[in-house]
Structure 1
Amino acid sequence: MYAIVDIETTGGKYNEEGITEIAIYKYDGHKVVDQFISLINPEREIQPFVVNLTGINSSMLRNAPKFYELAKRIVEITENCILVAHNAQFDYRILCTEFKRLGFDYERKTLCTVELSKDLIPGQKSYSLGKLVRAVGIPVTDRHRASGDALATVKLFKLLIDKDTSKTIIQKSIRLNPKYQLEPRHIDIIEGLPSITGVYYIHQEDGEIIYIGKSKNIKKRINQHFTGTNPKSKKIQALVTAVTFEATGSELVALLKESEEIKRNKPILNRALRRTSFTHALYSFVDENDYINLKIDIADHRKKPITTFSNRQSGKSFIEKAIEDYTLCQKLTGVYKTKTSCFNYDIKTCEGACIQEELPEHYNRRVSVLIEKNSYKNKNMVIVDNGRDIDERSAILIENGVFKGLGFFNLNYQINNIDVLESIITPMNNNRDTQHIIQSYLRRNKRLKVIEINS
């Protein structure tokens, strides 16, 4: 017997979420034999993004029953059942947390339809519930509401049972407890960590750092390491005895510190990050007709790029947006291979640089603006971002196109005065990785405060 579950929550900090809606369909392998659907008053705030996603708001839940009023019914309908959910680890954890608040140990065997789908319906672009059920032709209504998602999971599970012709895959996937149950020592480590942005250091017994990472939520990220099943996570789980951290407030500061700390300490489990963090770059050259051409290409450390990208797709997306924003020619940006005019010229969105109809100086002016905006070559500037406290800001200093270091300040005069600014900056190494980190962050965060300074 199976209890197919979907839960909607308030969102918020890990293990502090509350349930706003629950749907359980008791399924005997052929048909639904019982069901339970209810809104729940979580007695806590619902995150705004969750309200937008589910449509469930606090006023809808004001008169809804509280969890303790429904707990007995949930226990009864799931008794002697295997709990089935799309991402069972999440739904089961939320249920266990709610029961733990009532002083009750809730324990069920679990089955995850994400895990089963990867085995039985391989090769899908996405295994999110919405995209997966659409891909296999399962109708879904009331998406992101418990009843709609649980019913879609019932239909998906029915399909998975049919596909498991050997009747062994589902049996092997049943878990007695949460799939990745934390050890007591891991729980103790997590409880001592904050949910803040910063860099964290994972130590083994002799104090040696075995892994360095960054996160916008250190506690959540360490929990992911402790519950992961990939080889790196398993090594961390086996070796970890302590986790230390440094608050940064700013994700950019965290990225820069992480990169430098990995290069300095060379932790045994950071080997993949020792390699350059970008694969493609944007280059420019002037053709025989005096037009500046742009090209996304594999990063070549012998050449000086305008900016760099983590992968080819990121570079491709950048150049496609640049064509639109700066009215550039598809041919001169390497997007449209042709010996004549580009496609955009035919639809009147290219000024004709591809066939020398637009003068080079006019076209090159727009290309130069793009290059200037996406390269800090020869620039003197300070990037201002979040600090570690509410009244503090971080400052990343660039002098003559070279990353000099970073620091924290409380008063604006500290960054408007170059001598004072240099005194609060901690020097750091400038290299291709730091350039990539800064340029990528500036591209993603358009509203970031950047102050040009006079050296």
Structure 2
Amino acid sequence: MEQIRIDFYGNSVFINFNRHEFEGWNTGNLRGFAGVYLICDEEDQVIYVGMSKNLGRRIYDHFSGKTNTNKFHNDMKYILTFTEDDIYKREALEKVLINQFRPKGNGFLQQKGRNHGHSEDTIIMLKHLLDLGVYSNDTIASFIGLSKYFVSNVKKGKSYAFVEVPEGYKLDEYPEKDKGVYKNKSSLEHAYKLYHVSGHTYKSASEKAGLKESYFRTFMTSKKRKNYIDLRKEFEQKYGKRNKHLKGQV
């Protein structure tokens, strides 16, 4: 057993990991156990961090050279494991470990046919576009020339968690704004006006504007999607906010 100090969101905690030598190890000992694992080399450097709902099976795949770490197979000396059933805790711990150890296997390898050996400039550009909150994963992937799967992993902190966007960073050129909300701008504006000025309900306003009620309701209430928020502010400047006495009149 080995104890590792981890900087967990500003607090230092010590976690006990079980050590398993690659040579002569029986993977069946961990079959059925979920958790997080670290693959280390003979110099005690962490070369890969991962998690699985079945540690025994996943580590056996690494041991057999059948995974995305086959490039580093000859460097693998032992594995440290920590069992955890809660998937959210596993994901949080995996993210912290990747950020702390910055393993070469989590940022610079071929994974399922996708090239993860991207330059730091590419990752900074990707993270900058994600931080803006106005583009979908598909739009960002298409603009930079990456896979949607890879963009999603970076967004979740599973890849390149250690790369930070410099303060004041900007691009010379940006992708076009996602078509969805802007393509429907005129219909959304009509529905917005019906709701705020004429007193229509979400249902009647969306029907008259030719929109799905669920879509219009999401547009009106979303607090996370920046493109929705910006468009609502634009409409609010033109039409103002809904008068309370109009509620439910139509």
Q: When you count strand as a share of all residues, which structure comes out higher?
A: 1
TM-score norm. by structure 2 comes to 0.42
**Which structure has the greater CA radius of gyration?**
1
Q: When you count helix as a share of all residues, which structure comes out higher?
A: 2
Greater RCO (Cα-Cα under 8 Å, separation 6 or more)? 2
